[in-house]
Amino acid sequence: MQKIAELIKKEAESLLKEKKVTAVLAWQPGEFYYDNSPAYFTSLEQLDKLVYNEFCPANLSKYLMTGSKKKETMAIFAKPCDTYGINQLIKDHRVKRELITVIGIPCSGMIDIKKIKAQGVKGIISVAVEGEKVIVKTAYGEKTFNKTDILLAKCMSCKGSDYMIADKELGEKMEVKCQKLDPLAGVTKLEAMTSKERFAFWQEELSKCIRCNACRDICPACSCEQCIFDNQEAAVAGKASANTAEEQMFHIIRAYHVAGRCVGCGECARVCPQGIQLGLLNTKFSKDISMFYGKYQPGADTDSKAPLVDYKFDDVEPTISAKGGR
Amino acid sequence: MLKINKAKWLELFAALSAQGTLYVPANVDDKVDFTIWQNATEVDLQATQTAKSIKNIFFPQVENLLDFKTDGLKLSVEQRMLPEEATIAFGVRGCDVRSFEVLDKVFLKDPVDTFYKARRENCTIVSLACSAPDETCFCGTFAIDATNPGGDVTTWLVGDELFWQANTDKGSQLTEKVKTLLVEGDAAEVAAQQKATKEIMAKMPLADFKIAAKIPAEQEKVFNSTVWQQLSGTCLSCCACTYVCPTCHCYDVRDFEVDNKVERFRCWDSCMCKDFTKMAAVNPRVSRLERFRQRYMHKLVYFPENNEGTFACVGCGRCLQKCPVNLNIVKVAKALEVAKDV
């Protein structure tokens, strides 16, 4: 990844030097090596702070909206999974294709710091990634992990190394080396439940919600200028996590709204401070949409018609969906 | 100094819970958070930090204040009773203990928040000294001694022994109730652990982190600094930092209609939200930059200005752990420190 980081810096330098774009979207380091932040780079002096390593999970695509709104050109360094979000934003008319430059960057999977911490690791002083080994030095000692054991859940069901959109690709494509997780495993388990069990599952899961809106705010499909849940006039605007009904309203409405547009980037579940399995709802919708209307992957392109906005005479009858898609 | 062996903790928790609702740090849904103790609760005294702060024990995320009822043309207003329940907050770390002092400065100032006051007075705080700090900890920045966290009773976990020392009258009263379970302990063991913990703390990456004196002093320059542009650029404007923060205390008051009744409730709110303060017309901070700046200005500049220099931050590090994009108060304070225009 170090080599890729150098290539990114060089590319960012030439983009800014030649004034091809007004800002470059990438990552900058934090306090502890594992806490990189997304960042806009607008001048050459800032570039020594640009970083790319196994701790850059954030999908930067939504930040492109700011540039498109101001009619400014922007370049984005995008991992293969991030490119789906970019396409979806273009399709939703939130990002203007002609204003953005997409540079594809290879990724071999991002590390989940929470998985490291779950092993009782604390007081981290440094993290070093050497090939497939991750060496974590702490104030209490040293611990070595296999990268495959501490990958982010979203990377364990990686959609592959191809870019759905890219004006240029840097370096050679990489693969995520791990025992792949079936992205539908969670949904299959839910479908096997009785409706009562499923209701109990969601009540428990969603009652953890503290209504921080992080899932909504990071989601590339949640691109409304004004969210209905921020609208005082709307009866659903509850900020309170008053009872489970309140949170179900928020999460279920959100899931319906992004149905057919959710690219499956997994960011909602990653950013949830309460660890709610948010992606499950969206995955279920995606699965059903593909079953009813033929295989469809949101964000795979910018011009195909999305099934939910494209009426066909032989569209599936509502009676089928009433059976829960089974 | 008193102590109690691990073998007797279950009895201790049972005895404490007989005195009031007992909140303990415990494993809940794969994370450690404060929860009401019951016989089967998996109490976790090893975790450095609970995922959320314990502020909701005094300042619940949602609470009803009033009910309006209509009966034909008759309207009646019923105020909710003040909470009378006795509570015990067990295992509170030094940072969170200090956060109560910050919240007191808000809620106990005139006009006193009677709901907060009642809950605060009904609670006995049993703190737990830190022995294994995390890299995100920076309570030392605010002169908090994590090895001597205070509260009504202080406890120290040394091996399988929990050392116990009452600090206040309330603490002594609680100690009386569980006295038969406690035995004499050697204070030297606690002192040795405190020394060892301080040595570990000195190795932590944020050990020397200080809020630069110029930050609270140069209000106007800080406010107008160009640093905010860069810092706020990638903030998501979500409320994760606010809701896990032990000192954030803004709330909204709203009405909830049910049949012939209106319930007036208050719930946590965040200056990071677009719809913040809309009850009074509009949110004057229309841009993300303004909303982002407000949260940090409040913690680092306005709050100390109005409260004899006390920062509205206790260095618990939760925002460092929970921000989806890793923005946090340390990053902000460091950027302001080196900013050319501050």
Per CB-CB distance under 8 Å, the chain A contacts of B327 are 37
Q: How confident is the model at residue A317, as a pLDDT?
A: 75
pLDDT of residue A322 exceeding 70: no
| Minimum CA–CA partner of B272 in chain A | A212
Out of A19-28, A273-282, B214-223, pick the least confident: A273-282
Per CB-CB distance under 8 Å, the chain B contacts of A40 are 230, 233-234
- List, as ranges, residues 43-72 from A with C-beta within 8 Å of B: 58, 63, 66
Q: How confident is the model at residue B214, as a pLDDT?
A: 96
| Minimum CA–CA partner of A208 in chain B | B29
Dihedral angle at the C-alpha atoms of A91, A97, A100, A104, nearest 10 degrees?
70
pLDDT of residue A319 exceeding 80: no
What's the whole-number mean pLDDT along residues B75-92?
94
Q: What is the pTM of this model?
A: 0.92
* Contact flag A36-B326 (C-beta cutoff 8 Å): yes
Smallest Cα distance from B170 to chain A, Å: 32
* Contact flag B239-A212 (C-beta cutoff 8 Å): yes
> Is the N-terminal amide bond of A220 cis, ω within 30° of 0?
no
What's the whole-number mean pLDDT along residues A264-280?
93
Q: What φ, ψ does residue A236 adopt, rounded to 5°?
A: -95, 5
End-to-end CA distance of chain B: 49
Helix, strand, coil shares of chain B, percent, nearest 5, are: 40, 25, 40
| Closest partner CB to A31 (pick from B206, B233, B268) | B206
| Closest partner CB to A213 (pick from B238, B268, B279) | B238
Q: How confident is the model at residue A259, as a pLDDT?
A: 94
Q: Which amino acid is at A35?
A: D
pLDDT of residue B40 exceeding 90: no
Q: How confident is the model at residue A150, as a pLDDT?
A: 96
d(CA A279, CA A187): 10
Per CB-CB distance under 8 Å, the chain A contacts of B316 are none
Q: How confident is the model at residue A246, as a pLDDT?
A: 60
| Closest partner CB to B267 (pick from A123, A125, A240) | A240
CA distances for B264 relative to B31, B78, B256, B258, angstroms: 32, 10, 6, 11
d(CA B32, CA B26): 5
d(CA B252, CA A22): 39
What's the whole-number mean pLDDT along residues A113-124?
94
Q: Mark residue B217 as left, alpha or beta (left: phi above 0; alpha: psi -120 to 50; beta: remaining).
A: alpha
What's the whole-number mean pLDDT along residues A105-131?
94
* Contact flag A226-B51 (C-beta cutoff 8 Å): no
Smallest Cα distance from A215 to chain B, Å: 9
Tens digit of each residue's pLDDT (9 = 90 or more) over A15-24: 999 999 999 9
- Residue ranges in A92-184 assigned as alpha helix (H): 113-118, 153-156
* Contact flag A40-B61 (C-beta cutoff 8 Å): no
* Contact flag A217-B238 (C-beta cutoff 8 Å): yes
Counting one residue from chain A and one from chain B, the pairs whose CB atoms sit within 8 A come to 134
Smallest Cα distance from A110 to chain B, Å: 14
Tens digit of each residue's pLDDT (9 = 90 or more) over A220-261: 999 998 888 887 777 666 666 555 566 668 898 899 999 999
* Contact flag A30-B51 (C-beta cutoff 8 Å): no
* Contact flag B326-A30 (C-beta cutoff 8 Å): yes
d(CA B316, CA B141): 10
Cβ–Cβ under 8 Å, residues A264 and A59: no
Q: How confident is the model at residue A245, as a pLDDT?
A: 60
* Contact flag B204-A208 (C-beta cutoff 8 Å): no
pLDDT of residue A325 exceeding 60: no
Smallest Cα distance from B318 to chain A, Å: 10
Per CB-CB distance under 8 Å, the chain B contacts of A275 are 29-31
What's the whole-number mean pLDDT along residues B226-253?
94
Q: How confident is the model at residue A194, as a pLDDT?
A: 95
CA distances for B60 relative to A242, B239, B246, angstroms: 10, 16, 12
Q: B150-154: which pairs have CB atoms within 8 A and are 24 or more residues apart?
A: B150/B94, B150/B97, B150/B98, B151/B89, B151/B92, B151/B97, B151/B125, B151/B126, B151/B127, B152/B124, B152/B125, B152/B126, B153/B124, B153/B125, B153/B126, B153/B127, B154/B126, B154/B127, B154/B129
Q: How confident is the model at residue A321, as a pLDDT?
A: 60
pLDDT of residue A124 exceeding 70: yes
Smallest Cα distance from A169 to chain B, Å: 24
* Contact flag B238-A123 (C-beta cutoff 8 Å): no
| Closest partner CB to A38 (pick from B200, B234, B256) | B234
| Closest partner CB to B239 (pick from A139, A213, A218) | A213
Adjacency order of strands within the sheet including B123-128: B31-36, B21-28, B87-92, B123-128, B153-158, B161-166, B2-5, B183-184
Per CB-CB distance under 8 Å, the chain A contacts of B252 are 239
Per CB-CB distance under 8 Å, the chain A contacts of B322 are 273
* Contact flag B132-A123 (C-beta cutoff 8 Å): yes
Average per-residue pLDDT for chain A: 91
The residue extents of the domains of chain A are 1-108+160-178, 182-326
| Closest partner CB to A271 (pick from B233, B324, B327) | B324
Pick from A58, A20, A17, A19: which is nearest to A37 by CA? A58
Q: Does A142 touch chain B (CB under 8 A)?
A: no
pLDDT of residue B52 exceeding 60: yes
| Minimum CA–CA partner of B235 in chain A | A38
Out of A103-112, B30-39, B151-160, pick the least confident: B30-39
Tens digit of each residue's pLDDT (9 = 90 or more) over B295-316: 999 999 999 999 999 999 999 9
Smallest Cα distance from B299 to chain A, Å: 19
Q: Does A241 touch chain B (CB under 8 A)?
A: yes
What's the whole-number mean pLDDT along residues A88-116?
97
Smallest Cα distance from B338 to chain A, Å: 14
Q: How confident is the model at residue B28, as a pLDDT?
A: 85
Residue B143: which residues within 8 A CB-CB, separation 6 or more? none
* Contact flag A212-B242 (C-beta cutoff 8 Å): yes
What's the whole-number mean pLDDT along residues B274-279?
80
Q: Does A324 touch chain B (CB under 8 A)?
A: no
Q: How confident is the model at residue B3, as a pLDDT?
A: 98
Average per-residue pLDDT for chain B: 95
Per CB-CB distance under 8 Å, the chain B contacts of A29 are none
d(CA B333, CA A10): 30
pLDDT > 70 fraction of chain A, expressed in percent and rounded: 93
Per CB-CB distance under 8 Å, the chain B contacts of A203 are none
Pick from B163, B16, B168, B46: which is nearest to B97 by CA? B168
* Contact flag B204-A139 (C-beta cutoff 8 Å): yes
Smallest Cα distance from B285 to chain A, Å: 15
| Minimum CA–CA partner of B136 in chain A | A123
What's the whole-number mean pLDDT along residues B146-156?
98
pLDDT of residue A189 exceeding 70: yes
- List, as ranges, residues 207-236 from A with C-beta within 8 Å of B: 208, 210-214, 216-218, 226, 230-232
pLDDT of residue A115 exceeding 70: yes
